[in-house]
Amino acid sequence: MIRRLVKIILPLAVIALLVAGFYWNEARKEIQFLCGNFEKGVSEQSVIRQLETGHFLRYHSEKIPFGKRIIVDSAYNFSMYKCTIDFDAEGKVEEAHFE
């Protein structure tokens, strides 16, 4: 009986791990790729337009003393990877970095 359960559960667990790993990696690649697009001087509208194309990410903005900050992460990899985008007072990218 136990061997039969192991023969059923083990392959399902391996498949689940493979699928989870695929989504984890795709979310990381998406954040890293998009973060590389945000060079100094890019407008906030352009950044948001590009972020809206993402399938695996989420983002939120917050006010900072000299402008605005957008933080991009993904629930698919438990927010382990992030892109932080800082904007100046005119709404242009000041700095973007992937961590």
Q: Are strands 83-87 and 58-64 parallel, antiparallel or unpaired?
A: unpaired
Total Cβ atoms within 10 A of residue 1: 5
Q: Between residues 65 and 7, which one has the greater pLDDT? A: 65
pLDDT tops 80 at residue 5: no
pLDDT tops 90 at residue 2: no
C-alpha–C-alpha distance, residues 66 and 24, integer Å: 34
User: Domain span at residue 16?
Assistant: 2-98
Concatenated DSSP letters of 11-31: HHHHHHHHHHHHHHHHHHHHH
Angle value at C-alpha 81, between 89 and 46, nearest 5 degrees: 35
Cα Rg of the chain, angstroms: 19
**Rounded average pLDDT over 65-87:** 95
| Least-confidence region, from 5-9, 21-25, 54-58 | 5-9
Output the CA torsion 29→53→47→81 (10° steps): -30
Instruction: For the chain, count helices (H), then strands (E).
Output: 2, 4
The tally of domains found in the chain comes to 1
